[in-house]
Amino acid sequence: MGQYLAWMMMGVSAVALTACGGGRDSGPSRGRLMAPDRLNAAAFSASGLPSRFGDTAPHEWDGLVPALYSVHGIDAARYQGVIDWSTARNAGVSFAWLKATEGGDHIDPGFVTNAPGARSAGVPVGAYHFYYFCRTPEEQAKWFMQNVPHVPGDLPPVLDIEWNHQSSCKRKPDPLTVRSEMARFVNLLSDHYGTLPVIYTTPDFYADNDLGQMHGAEFWLRTVAAHPSERYPGEDWSFWQYTGTGVVPGVGGNVDINAFGGSPESWSRWLSARRQS
């Protein structure tokens, strides 16, 4: 059995999800892999970032800046095209999560295209799922598992859950329902992959849904203009997404860059404990 989070699950039902649409009758959709130009990170050097990376729209960092952390990685999707993993690794990319699925019928080709290369280059890699509120968590977990193989050594799967104001789905559940759906999704993936998924979220979604109640969750937090301790007071976190406009050698266009919240030694321990087995 997989690991379970001790979250409140009080029988909240899936409220009329079928009425929300979501492309059930249109069949699976697949995004197009892009081919952006690769930028010169040195031309976009930014204060507060590791010197090997750049940023095309940098924040003026001070205090607890990203460069204080030793272990950095990226998250990418079809928009970054084919990644040169040897170059990225040599530049300091120590891990990567790639978008694989969204909702219950969408595939991002970035994962199947880039995951094998990351493994070959020795970059720990995993997949993430973008949550869609007009599909049940069970449907979405099944879709992810159908499209992301269980590969020993890969990183834990990630649940990317945030408000998407551009989505065709206008359902906005109450906080209790949100946390219940998250728990159902996470527990299904935990059983299948043998390791607890990481949860990626944003400041507004975290606050709106009181995610601080989710004791036992491992968080990956987005905050591109302040340290997580400012945007998520009192919350523990393992990963910090500190820019969405990063420039990384070997990666096309802009890319999200992230820091692991510990030393190289704690990163090695984290990998030993959290990789798929």
Give domain limits for the chain: 44-253+260-274
Contact in structure between 111 and 141 (CB atoms under 8 Å)? no
- Is the pLDDT at 17 greater than 50? The verdict is no
The predicted pLDDT at position 27 comes to 79
The residue count of the chain comes to 277
The one-letter amino acid at 276: Q
The predicted pLDDT at position 12 comes to 42
Q: What is the mean predicted confidence (pLDDT) over 99-124?
A: 98
Pick the CATH number of 44-253+260-274 from 3.40.50.300, 3.40.190.10, 3.20.20.80, 3.90.1150.10: 3.20.20.80
The predicted pLDDT at position 37 comes to 98
Q: Would you name the residues annotated as active-site residues?
A: 75, 162
Confidence of residue 166 (pLDDT cuts 50, 70, 90): confident
Under the phi-then-psi rule, with left for phi > 0, alpha for psi from -120 to 50, and beta for the rest, what region is 218? Answer: beta
Contact in structure between 159 and 187 (CB atoms under 8 Å)? no
**Among 172, 105, 174, 100, CA closest to 133:** 172
Look over the chain and give the mean of its residue pLDDT values, rounded to a whole number: 93
Radius of gyration of the chain (CA): 18
- Is the pLDDT at 90 greater than 60? The verdict is yes
- First-to-final CA distance of the chain: 13
pLDDT in tens, 193-216: 999 999 999 999 999 999 999 999
Under the phi-then-psi rule, with left for phi > 0, alpha for psi from -120 to 50, and beta for the rest, what region is 207? Answer: alpha
- Is the pLDDT at 126 greater than 90? The verdict is yes
The predicted pLDDT at position 26 comes to 67
The predicted pLDDT at position 167 comes to 87
The predicted pLDDT at position 261 comes to 98
Confidence of residue 3 (pLDDT cuts 50, 70, 90): very low
Confidence of residue 8 (pLDDT cuts 50, 70, 90): very low
Q: What is the mean predicted confidence (pLDDT) over 226-241?
A: 98
91/41 Cα distance (integer angstroms): 10
Q: What is the mean predicted confidence (pLDDT) over 66-87?
A: 98
